[in-house]
Structure 1
Amino acid sequence: MHQWETDPAYQAVVRGFVDADPLDQAGGPLDIRVAVAGIRPDAKDGFLLEEVPWDRFPDGIRVREDMERLRSGDQAAVRGALGMLVGRCANDMRVAVALAVPFLLRIGTHSGGADRAEALAVVAEGARMGHQGVCTRADMLRHRNDDEWYFEPTGYLQNWSVQAARYAIAADTDLVLPLLGDPDTTVRIASAYALAAASDRAEDILSAFHTCLLAEHAPDVRAGLVLAIAELARAHQDSKTTAWIHACWSDPGQPPEVRTSAALGWMCLTDEPIPDDLRTILDDLASDATAQLMAPLPWMRATASAVGDGLRRCLQEMLHPDAHDTDDCCDDPWS
């Protein structure tokens, strides 16, 4: 017998989400959005894990154990716990990870922490679904689809898991915004990736992205900020950003990585035919050096595979969608 079959939390999810109408659980004890929103600010700041209803949700007890390891001070244990958390997201087991998001955000903001970027990366992955391996114009920067239901392997409604994580990021936006100026470039990129998934505060976050882009000297961070701007604009249907990003990729005064990211963002923000001048620009700017520079960005890692870098795969799919792609776009990006 599978361990899930005897787990009370799993059985409750089956009764509530598989054997009955999931919407009947809205606002109740099995609504992860309510559970995350109900964590007191003092409990978040004090890392009071005992106040969180871990046992209501599948894998919740194990996620709490991972969170305890993050506080152990043992680097091997910390890395192992973060690996387990991001692995759950990769396996579409986000519901209990959503409960951890407020605490992971605080780990990410802790000065001197060696794994701040990784903690923020878990937050960002918990706030997205169905984006791994996706590199089409329609879906690359779309981290949610509220019109269609998605279910986790346990039967839990993944839409709610992702919404809970996105709400948690929005609630703690003021904690994360200063990280856009962190001395560590990996933290700056990870914080932008997390903030791009926030459910609210879009105007404040976009303003911060633009301010940081003007002052940013690291090419990879600049490229990441442009993708974050495009993703947030797509989620919040910001037409002004679509115009800005068009001007960005068409401006020869912008650095190559900025124009390349802007071109990707524009193609995801509109379904207009791709103009010839954009194709020409990408033929010139999307070089091996640009692809290598952008490869560590989480947006590019999510579309890459063992045999193809993320930028090349995105451009192949977006510029030549009818061409046969021998590099399967659904290959496991976590391998």
Structure 2
Amino acid sequence: MTGRAREHDPAYRGTVRAFVEGDPLDQAGGPLDVRAVVAGIPPEAKDGFLFEEVPWDRFPEGVRVREVMGWLRSGEASAGSVLGTLIALCADDMRAAVAPAVPFLIRLGTGPESGHRAEVLTVVGEAARMRHQGVCSRADMLRFRGDDEWFFEVTGYPQNWSVRAARDAISADTDRLLSLLDDPDPAVRVAGAYVLAAASDRGQDILGALRSRLPAEQNPAVRAGLVLAIAQLARAHQDLGRAAWMRSCWSDPARPPEERVSAALGWMCLTDLAVPDELRDMVDALATDGTARLMAPLPWMRAIETAGESGLHRSLRGMLDPATADAEGFDDPWC
């Protein structure tokens, strides 16, 4: 939407009045609070894909999201085109429009008859994360920012609220999503773990399911994704005791390389202890180009990679040698 078009868009003008010219806290729990809107979608509307039950027009680009969701459901447009529209809105920091679609996307992503399930679920995972997730420092790589910090989308809408609405929707459908960990498609299992790692509630239930799945998982990339999901969920729910489990993983020579390397990343994100030489030596030996290629499809790695460096190697460099990461400057993970 161009600047001129925005000036005439009621949703955009309402957002500016409420959140730019007014006090955002005055809108908490009200009709412009996307957290309340998503939480208020009736179960029968979610299950029946009753898009008309959702007040899309309250949020900038919401009417457009309603339109493309209808196309996705009816098959009138290609799934790639629709999902590209939604992921582009996330990339442009306009998640308030996408958050109301999350419960419907979850049902599409968990329905056995649906196509493009992994891609659908990846959109859910991105709607539940802020753009800062693409950074690769120990402090921020797996961090969810707290509700006590204000971050705003390009429209002026509170990004915190948009992300929290998506995370709460994931929590509400935890049982539906947990079944994905046993899906026959490895890409769906990865996407399911990525989505579950963003849940705002039921952290211990999800952590237990991820841990239980790990010993049975035969696919190397999925194993790596499960470890990263465990680390991110543990950080979000302040289960910092998982750092000890991460250390036991990366220091265990009997575990597969991708599992040990992912656990090293998780351990560094869960603790601020000095990195031991043992970890550096393990990474030097196991974080090979082959391991980087194996882990490249994981959403956490895709958010960090650049044209010249894999996500794995860039994240390790940012954590093990922060001076070089700082020197490279800002790199937009969506480019």
TM category (shorter chain) comes to over 0.9
Confirm or deny: 8 A CA contact 2:118 2:188 kept in the other structure: yes
Q: State the AA in 2 paired with 1:41.
A: P
Alignment of 1:293-304 (within 5 A): 293-304=294-305
Query: Shift of residue 251 of structure 1?
Result: 0.8
- Whether the 8 Å CA contact 1:128–1:144 is kept in 2: the answer is no
Greater Cα offset, 208-217 or 142-151: 142-151
2:37 is equivalent to residue 35 of structure 1: yes
2:181 partner SS: helix
Q: 1:325 to 1:161 in 2, by over 3 A?
A: closer
Distance of 1:35 and 1:283 partners within structure 2? 48
Whether the aligned pair in 1 keeps the contact of 2:151 and 2:159 (CA below 8 Å) is yes
CA separation of 1:324 and 1:119: change in aligned 2, threshold 3 A = closer
1:220-299 equivalence runs, <5 A: 220-299=221-300
Counterpart Cα distance in 1 of 2:137 and 2:287:
17
Q: 1:324 to 1:206 in 2, by over 3 A?
A: closer
Q: Report deviation, 1:113.
A: 2.2
Match of 1:72 among 71, 74, 82: 74
Match for residue 322 of structure 2? 321
TM-score (structure 1 length as normaliser):
0.97
What amino acid maps onto 1:216 in structure 2?
Answer: E
The amino acid across from 2:180 in the alignment is L
CA distance in 1, matches of 2:78, 2:325: 44
What is the alpha-carbon root mean square deviation over aligned residues?
Answer: 1.3
Flag as ranges the 4+ runs of structure 1 deviating above 6 A.
none
User: For 1:209-228, what aligned pairs fall within 5 Å after superposition?
Assistant: 209-228=210-229
Deviations 1:39-71 (A, max 9, x none): 000100000000000011111100001101111
Equivalence for 1:17: 19
Name the CA distance, whole Å, in 2 between partners of 1:324 and 1:91.
Answer: 24
Q: CA deviation at 1:243?
A: 1.1
Deviation at 1:80, TM superposition (A): 0.4
Amino acid at match of 1:208: A
* C-alpha spacing 1:195/1:61, structure 2 compared with 1 (3 Å): same
Q: CA deviation at 1:300?
A: 0.4
Comparing 317-326 with 25-34, which one deviates more in the overlay? 317-326
Identity of aligned pairs, percent?
Answer: 64
> How far off its partner does 1:82 sit?
0.4
Asked if 2 retains the 8 angstrom alpha-carbon contact of 1:306 and 1:333, the reply is: no
- Are the equivalent residues in 1 in contact too, given 2:133–2:140 (CA < 8 A)? no
Residue of structure 2 in register with 1:122 after alignment:
123
Equivalent position amino acid for 2:95 in 1: R
Matched, 1:333 2:302: no
CA–CA distance in structure 2, aligned partners of residues 326 and 181 of structure 1: 42
Q: Distance in 2 between matches of 1:52 and 1:5?
A: 24
Residues 233 and 239 of structure 1 are in contact (CA less than 8 Å); yes or no, is this contact kept in structure 2? Answer: yes
Give the Cα–Cα distance (whole angstroms) in 2 for the partners of residues 171 and 31 of structure 1: 18
Secondary structure of the residue aligned to 1:167 is helix
1:5 alignment counterpart = 7
CA–CA distance in structure 2, aligned partners of residues 256 and 132 of structure 1: 24
Residues 281 and 175 of structure 1: CA distance in aligned 2, closer, same or farther (over 3 Å): same
3-state secondary structure, aligned to 1:105: helix
Residue aligning to 1:139: 140
Is the CA contact 1:267–1:318 (under 8 Å) kept in the aligned structure 2?
A: yes
The number of aligned residues is 333
TM-score, length basis structure 2? 0.97
Whole-Å separation in 1 of the counterparts to 2:287 and 2:118: 27
Q: Report SS of the residue matched to 1:43.
A: helix
Contact 1:308 1:327 in 2 (8 A): no
Residues 247, 110 of structure 1: alpha-carbon distance in 2 compared, 3 angstrom cutoff: same
The amino acid across from 2:19 in the alignment is F
Q: Distance in 1 between matches of 2:205 and 2:183?
A: 18
